[in-house]
């Protein structure tokens, strides 16, 4: 009988402990949900990221130097440039002889020659004066172009010096290689217009970027 009473008491104690443990667990607060900002900023699946952009490459039938420009058909905002483009003056020569810059982004003009130069820049189409400044040896001048298009660069002190600048809002602009090839990576998906300036001509082609590689031939 004594042994039976002890077993019953032990069982009762265990049941009581289980009830206390369950009650404690139920009263414990639930973990808070993840903040909305963390959910919104979660990294997208790799497949979605890859489909969001692509590469546009191709070849152009050149008639001399060819400037290739890829512009969105709809409105789009691009991030600022990583580095400022530079046009230098060395050995009575502008370098490079054709510089591509971003409209609304700063450009540096330098003089690493041992003589005074001035930089006279006009918009090729409107003839509007962008600026005309003297730059001494080791001097630097910074300018931001506000209008797209080609600009003529000259030095009034040394008339044999000449160069060109092409300004555009899109970061997808380049001079085609010697064989006419070009390539733009990281192009967002959507409708674009590819324009090629070569030999006094403008060649245009519609481009639809859907991810992966889009090949374009412009003739």
Which segment, 18-22, 59-63, 115-119, is predicted with the most confidence on average? 115-119
Number of other CB atoms surrounding residue 141 within 10 Å: 16
Residue 59's φ and ψ, nearest 5 degrees, are -145, 145
Q: Evaluate if residue 1 carries a pLDDT over 50.
A: no
Q: pLDDT digits over 70-82, tens only?
A: 999 988 899 999 9
pTM of the model: 0.75
User: What are the Cα distances from residue 67, in Å, to 98, 104, 106, 175?
Assistant: 9, 19, 20, 5
Confidence at 211, pLDDT banded by 50, 70, 90: confident
Find out whether the peptide bond into 133 is cis, omega within 30 degrees of 0.
Answer: no
Taking the alpha carbons at both ends of the chain, their separation in whole angstroms is 107
Residue 18, both tokens:
């289980």
162's CB contacts (< 8 A; 6+ apart) are 94, 97, 152, 153, 154
Among the residues of the chain, which ranges form H helices? 2-27, 36-40, 46-51
Q: pLDDT digits over 140-168, tens only?
A: 999 999 999 999 999 999 999 999 999 99
């Amino acid at each position: 009988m004594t042994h039976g009473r002890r077993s019953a008491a032990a069982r009762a104690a265990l049941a009581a402990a289980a009830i206390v443990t369950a009650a404690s667990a139920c009263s414990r607060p639930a973990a808070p949900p993840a903040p909305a900002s963390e959910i919104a900023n979660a990294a997208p699946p790799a497949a979605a990221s890859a489909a969001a952009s692509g590469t546009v490459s191709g070849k152009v039938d050149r008639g001399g130097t060819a400037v290739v420009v890829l512009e969105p058909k709809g409105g789009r905002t691009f991030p600022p440039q990583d580095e400022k483009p530079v046009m230098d003056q060395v050995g009575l020569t502008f370098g490079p002889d054709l510089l591509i810059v971003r409209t609304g982004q700063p450009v540096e003009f330098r003089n690493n020659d041992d003589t005074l130069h001035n930089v006279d820049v006009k918009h090729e189409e409107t003839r509007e004066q962008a600026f005309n400044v003297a730059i001494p040896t080791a001097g630097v001048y910074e300018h931001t172009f506000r209008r797209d298009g080609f600009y003529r660069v000259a030095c009034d002190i040394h008339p044999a010096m000449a160069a060109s600048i092409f300004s555009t809002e899109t970061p997808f602009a380049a001079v085609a290689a010697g064989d006419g090839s070009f390539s733009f990576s990281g192009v967002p998906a959507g409708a674009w217009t590819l324009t090629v300036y070569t030999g006094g001509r403008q060649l245009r082609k519609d481009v639809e970027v859907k991810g992966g590689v889009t090949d374009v031939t412009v003739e």
